[in-house]
Amino acid sequence: MADAVVLVSGGAAVTPYTDPERAAATGLAAGNTLTALRAHLLERGVPVFTAPARLGVGEVRVDAGWQGFDDVPVVLPEGVTINSVGAIDDAGVALAAFLRWLADEHALTGIDLVGHSMGGLFSRAAIRELASGGPRVERLITLGTPWDGAVLGDAVAGEITDADAHGDPATSTILAQAREYAAAHSQGAAEQVARGFLRPWNVAQAGVLDDIAVTAIGAGYFAAATEPAQLWPHDGLVSLRSGRADDVPAAVLPRVERHSFADDVHSIFFADAFGLPWERALTWNPEVFAVVDAARGM
């Protein structure tokens, strides 16, 4: 079993660095994506760390936004901090640097990566970078990762249109807000999370995951239609098929176990927005945590 678990948040996330003893003292200890999963793993006695991430280049000291945090005890430099709205490969370079630092600081030789949303893509890019040296990644577990594209990216690229919502009010709202958010904040992430970008990017990753066990977990709460399969059902940002990596070639993903949570949404942001309990979010659902535990052999 790996020495520790490293949690990696996704696109547009703000996450403090945490270790088993230290976390943000005010607000959500590990940010609004990873706090519940971190707490679960700590309760199980698992050494767990979170990779720092922010919107843009810099350090993570505070998140003054929705369900944010403050009073971060350890602030790491920007070189080991993910720009969560930037390019995937750049995030991979920063994450790999963080993992090397973490391994040296805590004498870790083998780690498990758990990535939410684009955090799974950042993790894959980091695994490629670690081929030149760093801790051994024993397994990768992804929660709602857009292996084959995301609603936001596909909407920005025009691969998903308003007509594809089939009049579903929730999906129509999500598409409109995704375009607005991308226009205001993306530094490459929105464009690169489209299927048109990720399919050739996936091909270029062939061989990276050959020796790594992968568990891909998808969700599909929004199911008002069935076509196009690129969209329906989806968790608010990622289709169930994409989250499960159903259409990723075996040459890219040779060792994978797939799981579905049809009643879950992408994050607590979507749970809150649509009047669902936070436990219906992939990163807050105890049943999802049980799958993570099983994937790690616990």
- Residue ranges covered by each domain of the chain: 4-146+203-295
CA dist 211 to 130, 139, 252, Å?
13, 9, 11
Find tokens 């909407």 and name the residue.
155
Residues 94-124 have pLDDT tens digits of: 999 999 999 999 999 999 999 999 999 999 9
pTM greater than 0.85 (yes/no): yes
Tokens of 77: 């430099």
What SS3 string covers 15-54? ECCECCCCCCCEECCCHHHHHHHHHHHHHCCCCEEECCEE
Q: b/e map of 52-77 (b: 16 or more CB within 10 Å)?
A: bbbbeeeebebbeeeebbeebeeebe
User: Is the confidence at residue 298, as pLDDT, over 90?
Assistant: no
Q: Left if phi > 0, otherwise alpha if psi is -120 to 50, otherwise beta: which for 252?
A: alpha
Q: For the domain 4-146+203-295, what is the CATH code?
A: 3.40.50.1820
- Confidence at 1, pLDDT banded by 50, 70, 90: confident
- Residue 177 CA to residue 276 CA, distance in Å, equals 19
User: Is the confidence at residue 274, as pLDDT, over 80?
Assistant: yes
CB 218 within 8 A of CB 261: yes
Q: Which residue type does 94 have?
A: A
- Confidence at 267, pLDDT banded by 50, 70, 90: very high
- Residue 251 CA to residue 229 CA, distance in Å, equals 22
CA dist 222 to 36, 153, 232, 265, Å?
23, 18, 7, 8
